[in-house]
Amino acid sequence: MAKKTKSKSTKSVKSVNSIETNEKMSKIISFAKRRGFVFPSSEIYGGFSSIYDYGPYGVELLNNIKKFWWKHMIQLRDNIIGLDSAIFMHPKIWEASGHVAGFSDPLAECKKCHFRFRVDTLLEELGFSADEKMSLGQIEKLFRKNIDKIKCSKCGSNEFTEIKKFNLLVQSNLGNFSSDFEKEPVYLRGETCQGIYVNYKNVLDSTRVKIPFGIAQIGKAFRNEITARQFIFRTREFEQMEMQYFVNPKSEMEEYEKLKEYRWQYYLDLGIKAKNLKWYKHKNLVFYAKEAYDIEYNFPFGFKELEGIHARGDYDLKQHSKFSGKDLSYTDATTSEKYIPHVIESSAGVGRTFLALMTEAYTEEKIDNDIRVVLKLLPELAPIKIAVFPLLKNKPELVKKASEIFNELRKLYMCEFDDNGNIGKRYRRQDEIGTPYCVTVDFDTLEKNEVTVRDRDTMKQEKIKIENLIDYFKLRI
Ligand code: ATP
């Protein structure tokens, strides 16, 4: 629950508005829509603020990001296992976690145009830190003291309402026929990790894991974010990839350092350049936190949080033990040592990773008098791995052969068949969506049983025998 453990701002009113006017960002936003990666939600109804849909290529990239994460966090690890907990949970969980009381941002409203904004991020832009340790009264005082420097970014007025705490939990009406509903509304989860904490004992009892071990899951989370209009960087419905690692209190910091290292390397493996990544150390930690760092990525609008890595002490399990009345302690089978495990967490956003990868991979190359747009994604992440083209669509023998090859390759890889337009245009269409390889079937194919394979990045072409094609791709994808 990073809202409580950090005070670092992400946006101010001004920078919020500037995100979509940033040149690279606008290019990515329009490219993402034009090529079927990201669509604004409910567009034919005028849109739905801060919610986005992933299109045909977007969903492939999204799934590949999640697969990559799952592979690195579970498949390749001895002691981390997966979980898929439900979005709806017992309302008490959000009380125990502190979300009902404390998961909020300070909000003010322009008296003239009713534009609402986060006061902490606005103050941060002016150079003041308004962290969660400050009372609302203190934030209000700081805000009023600097009022002459503050303007509504929408209408220019500087008359604002009193600052209120705005809780980010999204309430539902699930079960509102029951008499308990008024007392305890049901929330859509604000983070996925609470589902992990409350299943810690189930996992322990049903598997052979021993401390240290981790539970990881990917899933949707919902937050009533005040500041909208930041494309997929900050949305009200989003997906998280979270891993909670349960450790002996004595080794908490040692395990924390290892996790930090592992997660940094993960982003390099994902194809992100080290110069575009940076650590941010949280300055004002909440009482239970031992240490908190974020990995930030150099988005077109500057370095911002991509993932949080936090050493959380025993707060989470202690709280759930207290509120549920269940013993969540762990007894070491060899030493008989009994303790409440401490938790270190890695919490990353799928959408933010998507945006980081789009930023990293979107390239415009000048070739002669033309601009080639190419999405330089790792083959493992590319929505389409191989495109197959018959050289001419009016030659049935070429189309037939290309279809045969396409049908074989699609059994192993996400492939696309394209017989429309000249080859150069077809290459460009695939470059734009990041397809690493294109296979062209021409008259040589019929005679010599070989195809032309063209590489997205080098644009080099080579002849490959059809019978060697699968091995060729196995080595590269
Ligand atoms: P921020 O400070 O940007 O609001 P946070 O510190 O509240 O983020 P966490 O609660 O630590 O975020 O969530 C973990 C991760 O989930 C973040 O690093 C981010 O990748 C992702 N995330 C959080 N909120 C959102 C959101 N509204 N939209 C998209 N991704 C989000």
Closest residue to atom 19 of ligand 1, CA basis: 349
d(CA 441, CA 420): 14
What string of DSSP letters covers 188-257?
E-S-SHHHHHTTHHHHHHHS---SSEEEEEEEEEE---S---SGGGS-SEEEEEEEEEEE-GGGHHHHHH
Q: 10-residue block means of pLDDT along the chain (477 residues)?
A: 43 38 89 98 94 98 98 97 97 95 90 89 80 81 89 87 93 78 84 98 95 98 85 96 98 98 98 98 89 97 95 98 97 96 98 98 92 97 98 95 98 97 96 98 95 97 97 95
Q: How many residues does the chain have?
A: 477
Report the predicted TM-score, pTM, of the whole model to 2 decimal places: 0.91
Which residue from 49, 240, 306, 346 has its CB within 8 A of the most atoms of ligand 1, so it is best to mutate? 240
348 in ligand 1 pocket by Cβ < 6 Å?
yes
What string of DSSP letters covers 90-140?
-HHHHHHTTHHHH-EEEEEEBTTT--EEEHHHHHHHTT----TTS-HHHHH
**Per-residue confidence (pLDDT) for residue 178, from 0 to 100:** 67
2 in ligand 1 pocket by Cβ < 6 Å?
yes
> Locate tokens 């013993």: which residue?
327
Closest ligand 1 atom, residue 236 Cα:
27
Closest ligand 1 atom, residue 240 Cα:
16
**Per-residue confidence (pLDDT) for residue 152, from 0 to 100:** 87
Closest ligand 1 atom, residue 223 Cα:
27
What residue spans of 311-395 are helical by DSSP H?
A: 315-324, 350-361
Residue type, 359: T
**Per-residue confidence (pLDDT) for residue 362, from 0 to 100:** 96
> Locate tokens 């990201």: which residue?
38
d(CA 349, CA 240): 5
Which two three-digit tokens encode residue 387?
């495109």
**94 phi/psi in degrees, rounded to 5:** -75, -20
Which residue from 54, 193, 347 has its CB within 8 A of the most atoms of ligand 1, so it is best to mutate? 347
Peptide bond into 379 cis (omega under 30): no
**Per-residue confidence (pLDDT) for residue 39, from 0 to 100:** 98
> Which residues, listed in sequence order, are joined to residue 81 by a DSSP beta bridge?
215
Q: 108: which residues sit within 8 A by CB, 6+ positions away?
A: 116, 117, 119, 143, 160, 161, 162, 163, 164
SS3 306: strand
Distance 308 CA to ligand 1 centre (A): 8
Closest ligand 1 atom, residue 352 Cα:
20
| Contact indicator for 242, 215 with CB cutoff of 8 Å | no
SS3 429: helix
346 in ligand 1 pocket by Cβ < 6 Å?
no
| Contact indicator for 402, 426 with CB cutoff of 8 Å | no
Task: Count other C-beta atoms under 10 Å from residue 47's C-beta.
Answer: 13
| Contact indicator for 88, 172 with CB cutoff of 8 Å | yes
16 in ligand 1 pocket by Cβ < 6 Å?
no
Strand stretches in 368-413, DSSP E: 370-375, 386-390
Which residue from 41, 103, 234 has its CB within 8 A of the most atoms of ligand 1, so it is best to mutate? 234
Distance 120 CA to ligand 1 centre (A): 16
d(CA 387, CA 440): 8
Which residue from 238, 295, 310 has its CB within 8 A of the most atoms of ligand 1, so it is best to mutate? 238
234 in ligand 1 pocket by Cβ < 6 Å?
yes
219 in ligand 1 pocket by Cβ < 6 Å?
no
Closest residue to atom 5 of ligand 1, CA basis: 2
**Per-residue confidence (pLDDT) for residue 126, from 0 to 100:** 82
